[in-house]
Amino acid sequence: MSQFENVSVIKKANVYFDGKVSSRTVVFNDGTTKTLGFMQPGEFVFDTSKKELMELLGGQWEILLPGESEWKTFTAGESFNVDANVSFKVKVSEFADYCCSYTD
Amino acid sequence: MSQFENVSVIKKANVYFDGKVSSRTVVFNDGTTKTLGFMQPGEFVFDTSKKELMELLGGQWEILLPGESEWKTFTAGESFNVDANVSFKVKVSEFADYCCSYTD
């Protein structure tokens, strides 16, 4: 699915890490939300409040999942899941274009 | 209007200037499009192919409009128009969250 149809989009971006990470919230008819985000080069720690499915749409990122000691490299089209109430780390060398789905 | 309703959103970002500028395309029922974009610190030159209405949603930018010699500073909520087939310059010190409407 290359586009989301019949959705609402909140105009203003969500801004994190001084703007190095930004995202837009997409609201679906059933009330669920996803965010479409973009990361600059850097290393970022994210704390989850819900289960998340993170899909890399473009660029590249390395991920350190909770409880793991080895970073994993992902390329466009690949995704991973994280539980609620955990932290995970993301390392970006060029940029990362992503979609985050809340799967609770 | 804080959100766009009953629209389609193309998932993949448009990426410019090595990712320092990125945007998402929003498609309306009448076939018109807008982009919701985000700029990192830097100075950027944009060439227009259509008339554009540029609205700053968050952050700050300075704009050098075609044919002008003085930069103008804009804050969130302010907007400006540019003609088709011109160049304009944008200087960003922290970040700029914006909406671009094609007004042809």
pLDDT in tens, B1-14: 799 999 999 999 99
Tell me whether residue B3 is in a domain.
no
Residue-wise burial string across B37-58, b where 16 or more C-beta atoms lie within 10 A, e elsewhere: bbbbeeebebebeeebebbbbb
Tell me whether residue A18 is in a domain.
yes
Tell me whether residue B35 is in a domain.
yes
Nearest residue, CB atoms, A38 vs list B22, B26, B94: B22
Tell me whether residue A1 is in a domain.
no
Residue-wise burial string across B68-91, b where 16 or more C-beta atoms lie within 10 A, e elsewhere: eeeeeebeeeeeeebeeeeebbbb
Q: What is the CATH number of the domain that holds B41?
A: 2.60.120.10
Distance from CA of B52 to the nearest CA of A (A): 17
Distance from CA of B25 to the nearest CA of A (A): 10
Please name the residue of chain A whose CA is at the shortest distance from the CA of residue B12.
Answer: A57
Tell me whether residue A87 is in a domain.
yes
Query: Between chains, do A38 and B26 touch, taking CB under 8 Å as contact?
Result: no
What was the pLDDT predicted at A26? 98
Q: What is the rounded average pLDDT of the residues B33-62?
A: 97
Number of structural domains chain B divides into: 1
| Residues in chain B whose Cβ is within 8 Å of chain A | 1-13, 15, 18-20, 22, 24, 26-27, 36, 38, 40, 57-59, 94-95, 97, 99
Tell me whether residue A24 is in a domain.
yes
Nearest residue, CB atoms, A12 vs list B12, B22, B57: B57
Tell me whether residue A52 is in a domain.
yes
Read off the pLDDT band of A1 (50, 70, 90).
confident
Q: Does the pLDDT of residue A104 top 80, yes or no? A: no
Tell me whether residue B1 is in a domain.
no
The per-residue pLDDT for range A7-52, each reduced to its tens digit, is: 999 999 999 999 999 999 999 999 999 999 999 999 999 999 999 9
C-alpha span between B1 and B64 (Å, rounded): 27
What was the pLDDT predicted at A35? 98
Domain that holds residue B72: 8-102
Helix intervals (H) in chain A: none
> Residue A5: its chain B contacts at CB < 8 A?
8
ipTM of the complex: 0.94
